[in-house]
């Protein structure tokens, strides 16, 4: 299927690694122009080098700083004079819990995981209105299932889900579609780092995989990215306000099925 993404300028925050990397690669394969916004220039450039000759661009920015969110969008507009899509993806499950957290850590986590979703969309909106672009927010199961000891990240993802629905309503008049892809278990570099902090990480990983109904395996970043590309494209022209779980049935299917 031709997704009609050729030469579309699509911003991917946190696009250099993990899920963001998968999204950037799929978009490049579809002929789009992915623009990575990330804080590590080396990581950004390494990924852009790997997708040559498909093309792409990057902006170095620390998204926890509101002024850098604004600057990043301005740089994209200056370079391309248009924006056709925004993928809000950057974030980290930083383990700020209720018992082990505090006000400062909680607010800092919201800046890492939620505030820049709003700011990037806010500053990109005038260009998205011109192009009738699309927004896709990457969110996590933690907002629906809980996880324990991660109050701030769960709250941020609840906010991401709520903003997806709210923006879909607010932007109907412009023909801008807004959807979310909800991720459960995907083996990214951050996930690998987290699993290593647990006792018997290999055993724990096998236990988690055994509870994923479809195939008893992790969701790949490419599988997530394929859904993101679809939601950005005209192939999903009447889909908006949706929270789409790309998770092998992890959240909604009876996990007893995984071992049936």
Of 14, 72, 71, give the one whose Cα is nearest residue 47: 14
How far from 257 is each of 143, 187, 205, 251, CA to CA, in Å? 23, 22, 18, 12
E strands, the chain, in order: 9-13, 33-38, 57-60, 85-88, 134-140, 177-183, 243-246
Inter-residue contact 213 to 148 (CB < 8 Å) = no
pLDDT, residue 260, reads 63
What are 10's strand-pairing partners?
34, 85
Say how far apart CA 110 and CA 92 lie, in whole Å: 10
The conformational region for residue 116 under phi > 0 = left, psi -120 to 50 = alpha, else beta, is alpha
Say how far apart CA 48 and CA 36 lie, in whole Å: 9
Counting every residue written for the chain, the total comes to: 260
Residue with tokens 């049936």, as numbered in its chain: 260
Say how far apart CA 117 and CA 66 lie, in whole Å: 11
pLDDT, residue 193, reads 86
pLDDT, residue 132, reads 98
Catalytic site residues?
153
Residue 255: CB atoms within 10 Å:
13
Inter-residue contact 250 to 44 (CB < 8 Å) = no
pLDDT, residue 257, reads 78
Token pair in block for residue 169? 């309503």
Q: Which residues contact 66 (CB under 8 A, 6 or more apart)?
A: 115, 116, 119
Cis peptide before 228 (omega within 30 of 0): no
pLDDT, residue 55, reads 86
Of 113, 131, 136, give the one whose Cα is nearest residue 12: 136
Q: What is the mean pLDDT of each run of 10 residues along the chain (260 residues)?
A: 93 98 97 98 97 92 98 98 98 96 98 98 99 98 96 98 98 98 93 88 94 96 98 98 98 82
- Residue environment code for 166-200, b if the CB has 16+ CB neighbours within 10 A, otherwise e: ebbeebeeeebbbbbbbbbbbbbebbeeeeeeeee
């Amino acid at each position: 299927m031709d997704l009609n993404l050729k030469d579309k300028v699509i911003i991917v925050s946190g696009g250099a690694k993990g899920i963001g990397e998968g999204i950037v690669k799929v978009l490049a394969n579809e002929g789009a122009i992915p623009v990575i916004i990330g804080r590590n220039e080396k990581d950004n450039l390494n990924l852009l080098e790997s997708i040559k000759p498909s093309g792409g661009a990057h902006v170095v920015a620390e998204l926890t700083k509101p002024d850098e969110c604004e600057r990043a969008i301005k740089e994209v507009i200056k370079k391309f004079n248009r924006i056709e899509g925004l993928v809000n993806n950057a974030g980290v499950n930083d383990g700020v819990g209720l018992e082990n957290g505090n006000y400062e850590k909680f607010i800092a986590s919201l800046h890492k995981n939620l505030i820049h979703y709003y700011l990037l969309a806010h500053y990109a909106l005038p260009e998205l209105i011109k192009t009738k672009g699309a927004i896709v927010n990457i969110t996590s199961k933690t907002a629906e299932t809980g996880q324990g000891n991660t109050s701030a990240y769960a709250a941020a993802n609840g906010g991401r889900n709520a903003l997806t629905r709210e923006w879909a309503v607010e932007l109907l008049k412009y023909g801008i579609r807004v959807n979310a892809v909800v991720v459960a278990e995907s083996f990214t570099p951050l996930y690998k780092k987290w699993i290593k902090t647990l006792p018997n990480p290999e055993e724990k990983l096998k236990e988690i995989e055994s509870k994923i109904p479809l195939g008893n395996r992790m969701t790949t970043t490419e599988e997530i990215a394929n859904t993101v590309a679809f939601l950005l494209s005209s192939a999903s022209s009447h889909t908006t306000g949706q929270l789409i779980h790309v998770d092998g049935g992890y959240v909604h299917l009876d996990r007893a099925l995984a071992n049936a």
